[in-house]
Structure 1
């Protein structure tokens, strides 16, 4: 109950923090580094044998895989260059008339017109 009371003192009647109060009073410790920053620094380090950064080696490897026929690697390369492919929205064939087909209705109409045998295919 003590924790709930302390939280209620920090918040107003709408549940928002009061001025000068915070839900994370200690905050992030000074000098702490995010995982993204650590990865970025690691990828920018040069390999002493090849004199290439690890990022460059990853890129070279990915491109080689794509050129070798790895479809997923090719997708990654193309997405990095042009961005992800966008799905087409709407009717792309603007001249065509929209058509709604109800399953089973085509067979009945064709039979009525005499275009098909009276026995539908199994």
Structure 2
């Protein structure tokens, strides 16, 4: 693997494809939950947390201004950390109250986030490098 791949600056790709990929995981989980007899409240929690995290990311993208500035990079870094808290706190609180619901919701969210991350990385590293 070439180190140039990681050191070459690239434009920030669109967030649409990763968000759609993760949202598809959430949508496809509903029939799985229904057929398996798992709590639908867990699926609903995962869907609400997913939507809230996507809205937070959208607001953050609007606030960060120019994608190439140092301030924008800092805003994205702080936002990514805050997104983890935004998601983690409700999932932990629900898990304490009802372990079955909390763990199922966390699992669905984790799979959706993993798919979103993978699609985002592929779109970033698959894009054209800046000259």
TM-score relative to the length of structure 1: 0.25
Q: Which has the higher contact order (CA 8 A, sep 6+)?
A: 2
When Rg is computed on C-alpha atoms for both structures, the one with the higher figure is: 1
- Structure with more of its chain in helix, by fraction: 2
